[in-house]
């Protein structure tokens, strides 16, 4: 009888320790460098995975997603959320599906744009999701994840009306809102936006949601509440990232999926920097448009051109070839290696952001109650 009791105690103890170790695992997020596109891999403590967007076609971005997945030990994508159907967000789906199983495809429904940015995409995409599972989501929906409370807050031009826990209060930033025209025929306006909670940790990712839609979501009341992490909307372009959103959700940290010549807008950057409670902006790239004044310190930037290249661009006379690196001469060639930004979040609300280029990391303590 004593032997049985000891064995039972051992089994219960091991089970308890296993449960404790499982509970202590962090939420991990790899923000992949897609050079001004978008791809972010989320790994829940349970091992379930969500990939938000898949970058551009051609294999470059797929290689980078696969590299992040390999480091994270990811063998399949449980949910692939395509925020909208622009090339830098969905262009990598077909190649990714050849390399890794994708169980469920999530989107806002049919495209509102007649011209496909990836030729033949809708037919190819339909063929993929008909062999798997397919969710067309609307605001208020919850993705089927064990450890994360993943809520859809925008989709197909519609916005969340029922406040999430911690949301529902008047948004003071609405009083100074400057209107911009709605554009319902733009796929950006249809973006699938998500608010994600892991214990006390909160994050928001609205894809490329436009300025007008941000107002629809956030005014007069803020249904989201405050967040710890803001995956910067629309790469930091000025068509998005209004104060009603950014000052409304008051992120502690912003991570911007920009390129050297895309994003980090003249309006978006100061809006973030003046947001109450913002501590840092982490960037995928040093931005020529943002220049010395608005770029973050180098330790917070995953991919940086060498000093001489930056100096040549910034000091070049207008109209020169080097000056064209600001955007007039087209996209730059892909660089190697490509570094990511990684977030590891704990249930108590603390989280650590790391730069794979230089090994720099910073831990943000849990908010005091």
Q: What is the pLDDT of residue 215?
A: 98
Asked whether the beta carbons of 279 and 250 are under 8 A apart, the reply is: no
Q: Considering the entire predicted model, what is its pTM?
A: 0.90
- Per-position b or e across 86-122, b if 16+ CB within 10 A of its CB: bebbbbbbbbbbeebebebbbbbeebbeeeebbeebe
pLDDT of residue 311: 73
Q: What is the mean pLDDT of residues 173-193?
A: 95
Domain CATH for 110:
3.60.15.10
Q: Give the pLDDT confidence score for residue 331 in this predicted structure.
A: 53
Kindly report, residue by residue over 210-223, the tens digit of the pLDDT. Answer: 999 999 999 999 99
Residue 102 lies in a domain: yes
CB 110 within 8 A of CB 86: no
- What does the mean pLDDT of the chain come to? 90
Predicted pLDDT of residue 319: 59
How many whole angstroms from its chain centre is CA 347?
19
Using CA atoms, how far residue 25 sits from 13, 16, 72, in Å, is: 19, 15, 13
Structural domain includes residue 369: no
The verdict on residue 14 lying in a domain is no
In this structure, the number of other CB atoms found within 10 A of the CB of residue 256 comes to 29
Q: Residues 250-267: what's their mean pLDDT?
A: 97
Rounded-to-integer distance, Cα 292 and Cα 108, Å: 38
Q: Say which residue the tokens 């000891």 belong to.
A: 6
Is the per-residue pLDDT at 17 higher than 70? no
DSSP, residue by residue, 20-73: HHHHHPPEEEEE---SSS--EEEE-TTS-EEEE----SSSHHHHHHHHHHHHHT
What is the total count of domains within the chain?
1
End-to-end alpha carbon distance in the chain: 49
Range of the domain at 160: 23-364
Residue 3 lies in a domain: no
Is 309 part of any domain? Answer: yes
**DSSP per position, 82-132:** -----HHHHTTHHHHHHHS-EEEEEE-SS-S-SS-SSTTHHHHHHHHHTTS
| Lowest mean pLDDT, pick from 22-31, 57-66, 97-106 | 22-31
Query: What is d(CA 215, CA 179) in angstroms, rounded to the nearest whole number?
Result: 9
**Is pLDDT above 80 for 197?**
yes
Per-residue pLDDT averaged across 53-59, rounded? Answer: 97
pLDDT at position 305 is 87
Residue written as token pair 């495809």: 105
* CB 339 within 8 Å of CB 34: no
Asked if the model's pLDDT at residue 139 lies above 60, the reply is yes
Q: Using one digit for the tens of pLDDT, what is the confidence trace for 330-366?
A: 455 667 889 999 999 999 999 999 999 999 999 999 9
- Give me the mean pLDDT over the 10-16 stretch: 38
Q: Report pLDDT for 20.
A: 40
């Amino acid at each position: 009888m004593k032997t049985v009791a000891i064995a039972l105690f051992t089994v219960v103890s091991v089970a308890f320790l296993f449960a404790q170790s499982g509970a202590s695992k962090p939420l991990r997020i790899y923000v992949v460098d897609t050079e001004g596109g978008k791809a972010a891999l989320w790994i829940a403590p349970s091992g379930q995975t969500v990939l938000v967007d898949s970058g551009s076609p051609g294999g470059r971005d797929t290689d980078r997603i696969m590299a992040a997945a390999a480091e994270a030990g990811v063998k399949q994508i449980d949910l692939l959320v395509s925020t909208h159907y622009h090339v830098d967000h969905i262009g990598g789906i077909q190649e990714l599906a050849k390399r890794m199983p994708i169980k469920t495809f999530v989107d806002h429904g049919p495209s509102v744009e007649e011209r496909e940015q990836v030729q033949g995409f809708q037919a190819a995409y339909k063929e993929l999701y008909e062999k798997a599972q397919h969710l067309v989501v609307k605001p208020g929906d919850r993705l089927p994840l064990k450890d994360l409370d993943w809520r859809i807050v925008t989709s197909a031009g519609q916005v969340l009306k029922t406040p999430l826990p911690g949301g529902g209060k008047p948004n003071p930033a609405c009083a100074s809102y400057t209107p911009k025209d709605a554009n319902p025929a733009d796929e950006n306006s249809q973006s699938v936006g998500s608010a994600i909670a892991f214990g006390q940790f909160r994050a928001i990712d609205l894809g490329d949601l436009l300025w007008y839609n941000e107002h629809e979501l956030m005014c007069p009341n803020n249904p989201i509440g405050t967040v710890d992490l803001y995956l910067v909307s629309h790469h930091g372009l000025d068509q998005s990232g209004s104060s009603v959103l950014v000052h409304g959700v008051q992120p502690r940290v912003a991570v911007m999926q920009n390129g050297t010549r895309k994003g980090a807008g003249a309006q978006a950057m100061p809006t973030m920097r003046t947001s109450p409670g913002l501590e840092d902006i982490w960037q995928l790239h040093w931005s020529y448009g943002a220049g010395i004044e608005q770029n973050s310190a180098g330790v917070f930037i995953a991919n940086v051109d060498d000093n001489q290249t930056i100096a040549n661009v910034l000091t070049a006379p207008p109209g020169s070839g080097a000056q064209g690196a600001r955007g007039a001469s087209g996209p730059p060639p892909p660089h190697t290696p490509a570094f990511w930004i990684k977030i590891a979040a704990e249930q108590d609300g603390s989280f650590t952001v790391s730069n794979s280029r230089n090994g720099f990391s910073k831990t943000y303590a849990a908010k005091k109650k």
